[in-house]
Chains A and B, each alone.
Chain A
Amino acid sequence: MRSGRAGVLLLLVSVTLALLLQLMALPDWMRSSRPYWVPMVLSYFALTQPGGALLVISVLAGLGLDVAFGTALGQHALANVVVVYLIARLRTLFVLLDTWQVMFALVPLWALYVFVLFWLDGLTSRSADPTLRWMPIIATTLIWPLVYNLLKGIQRTKRED
């Protein structure tokens, strides 16, 4: 229970920071290759401490992204929930892998995330330009080990305290 409460606090703080990074103003040429910070952080927690609270937070963060990006309400929420659930289900597989292997094993999930967003863009008849959609997948994959090790380090120092 003790580690659970600290874990939830870390979860909330890191999801807020991820939202902030997602909204941070970037120059035009970098904008289309911005990594998906929020699903990345949610995925870390899906690997380490999956649970109902995580799903609810995924939906809330998704709604925040929807409002911030002007997409259909629920679009990012759905994509978040799908990715978090799949990672939680495949968790037993992922814990056996190295960080590097996980990094590549997650690529299909980021692609799925992009696809859900793209699909709902099309479904709600918003113009969706497919040419640069794959850029964030690469960016997210490259940043993943950093985020993973950072959050892991924070959790480890917390536990030692």
Chain B
Amino acid sequence: MHGNYVDPDSGQVRVGGLGLPTLLLMLLSMGLVFADHQGDHLITVREGVATALAPLVWVAQTPVRAGFVADRLQSRESLEAENHELQSTLLRLQARLQRLESIEAENERLRVLLASSEALEEKVLIAEIIDINQDPYRHQITLNKGRREGVYRGQALIDAYGVLGQVLEVSYRHSRAILITDPDHGIPVEVNRTGLQTIAVGSGDGAGLRLPFLPTNVDIREGDLLVSSPLGGRFPPGYPVGRVHSLRNTPGAHFLEARAHPSAQLNQGRQALLVWAESLDNIEAEDAAVEAADAPPASPTPAPSASPTPSPAPTPAEKRP
């Protein structure tokens, strides 16, 4: 190997020995690509590399953090104005909350009557968005919560306005989430007005959702609210996903396509809420089981048992009817 380190000035180089190592490494890379495409076998490798890269990512985010600090240096007046605004919002929300509490109680009573065991309250955790994927073709973010906090693969992510996306990879202290606008992401949705079930696929331009393959006679209008559907078992039902802004009906085409703006404020907030979509009892039972087993930190990957659907991030191709 050292024979290849040649003084550039001497001009004497032996590169002939590189062919075989190159071939082997190419085969190795191809094998990795293939194995990664086939399933989740390489998830531990990915997590290991992600943990090793964490300091680098932290340094790379320094300019962004500097920007945050500059943002925080605000004048007293603007802070007072903001405080005032927040107080009025709080008051408004509290008034709504009182009403919602009574509705929730009523709903629970009705559910008991229906003998439904679905839990209404969901465990949530606030996570900070620490990195945005710099690849212009992917809409992914990194969060500062990981397996340590019980985050699992496929976990739903929301903000104050609607569904943001879902967790794609979990490492020990961080996790990576895919946003609903990523072209590889599909989310089952329900049209709030009619109860129509369909799939919203990310359009990839960072701004929108597509609802492809709607029957041409479907009852959907501009302004319809799309909420998350419990179908697929991944997202908690009833959170706003988007609002339809246009319908495209190509003459002669078999299907209608609707476009929607996401409800969540993508690319704006710095925090996101991780939601435990399954019932709390389940998770607590699982946690207890893990603690009882006192398993080493590497082995319990909660993803397969925690997510009801065995498939990874639902790609639109899998979900299309």
Chain A's nearest CB lies how many Å from the CB of B137? 5
Q: How far is the CA of A50 from the CA of B22 in the complex (A)?
A: 12
B168 adjacent to A70 (CB under 8 Å): yes
- Known contacts A25-B134, A67-B50; A124 and B37 CB within 8 A of each other: yes
Question: Does A72 have its Cβ within 8 Å of any Cβ on chain B?
Answer: yes
Any A CB within 8 A of the CB of B288: no
Stretch of B60-68, B153-161, B189-197, B300-308 that contacts chain A: B60-68
B61 touches A25 (CB 8 A): yes
Q: How far is the CB of B49 from chain A (nearest CB, A)?
A: 4
- Decide yes or no whether A32 CB sits under 8 A from chain B: yes
Interface: B53 (CB within 8 A): yes
**A1 within 8 Å of B by Cβ?**
yes
Task: Enumerate chain B residues within 8 angstroms of A124, measured Cβ to Cβ.
Answer: 33, 36-37
Select the residue from A24, A28, A62, A95 with max chain B CB neighbours within 10 A.
Answer: A24
Q: Which one, B18, B30, B64, B315, contacts A78 given CB within 8 A? A: B30
Please determine whether A49 and B4 come into contact, CB atoms closer than 8 angstroms. yes
B89 located at the interface, meaning its Cβ lies under 8 Å from any Cβ of chain A in the complex: no
Contacts A55-B22, A82-B26; A24 near B8 (Cβ below 8 A): no
Known: A4-B2, A69-B133, A127-B137. A78 touches B26 (CB 8 A): yes
* A91 x B15 contact (CB < 8 A): yes
Cβ of B36 and Cβ of A48 under 8 Å apart?
Answer: no
B36 in complex: contacting residue of A3, A52, A72, A85, CB < 8 Å: A72
Contacts A52-B1, A72-B37 given; does A25 touch B18 at CB 8 Å: no
Tell me whether B33 and A73 are in contact (CB under 8 A).
yes
Which segment of A15-23, A98-106, A137-145 sits at the interface? A15-23
Contact B56 A74 (CB under 8 A): no
Give the chain B neighbours of A91 by CB distance below 8 A.
13, 15
A81 and B7 CA atoms in complex are apart in Å by 22
A residues in contact with B4, CB < 8 Å: 49-53
A154 within 8 A of B: no
- Please, which residues of chain A bring their CB within 8 A of the CB of B321? none
CB-CB under 8 A for A59 and B138, given A73-B42, A74-B36: no
A8 to B79: give the CA distance in the assembly, Å.
Answer: 52
Within 8 A of B (CB), among A1-51: 1, 3-4, 7-8, 16, 19-20, 22-26, 28, 31-32, 34, 48-51
Docked-complex contact B56 and A20, CB < 8 angstroms = yes
Q: Quote the shortest CB–CB distance from B187 to chain A (angstroms).
A: 16
Q: How far is the CA of A133 from the CA of B280 in the complex (A)?
A: 45
Q: Are B136 and A32 in contact (CB under 8 A)?
A: yes
Q: What is the CB-to-nearest-CB distance from A128 to chain B, in angstroms, rounded to a whole number?
A: 7
- Among A67, A69, A73, the residue within 8 A (CB) of B138 is A69
B132 neighbours in A (Cβ, 8 Å): 25
- Flag whether B73 is at the interface (Cβ < 8 A): no
B227 CB → nearest A CB, Å: 25
A78 and B49 alpha carbons, distance in the complex (Å): 17
A74 / chain B contacts, CB cutoff of 8 Å: 28-33, 36
Q: Is B120 an interface residue (CB 8 A)?
A: no
Q: Which of B20-66 touch A at CB < 8 Å?
A: 21-22, 25-26, 28-33, 35-37, 42, 45-46, 49-50, 52-53, 56-57, 59-61, 63-64
30 pairs from A and B in contact (CB 8 Å cutoff): A3-B7, A16-B56, A19-B53, A22-B134, A23-B134, A28-B136, A31-B134, A51-B18, A56-B25, A63-B49, A64-B52, A64-B56, A69-B133, A69-B138, A70-B133, A72-B36, A72-B37, A73-B35, A74-B28, A74-B36, A75-B29, A78-B29, A81-B29, A85-B18, A85-B22, A91-B13, A92-B13, A125-B317, A127-B183, A155-B8
Q: Top 5 A-B pairs ranked by shortest CB distance? A: A74-B32, A51-B4, A78-B29, A4-B5, A127-B183
Listed in ascending order, the chain A residues whose CB lies under 8 Å from chain B are 1, 3-4, 7-8, 16, 19-20, 22-26, 28, 31-32, 34, 48-53, 55-56, 58-59, 62-64, 66-75, 77-78, 81-82, 84-85, 88-89, 91-92, 95, 120, 123-129, 132, 155
| Inter-chain pairs besides A23-B57, A52-B17, A67-B50, 19 sampled, C-beta below 8 Å | A19-B56, A20-B60, A24-B134, A25-B132, A31-B135, A50-B4, A56-B25, A68-B57, A70-B138, A70-B169, A73-B42, A74-B29, A74-B32, A75-B33, A78-B26, A81-B29, A82-B26, A89-B15, A125-B315
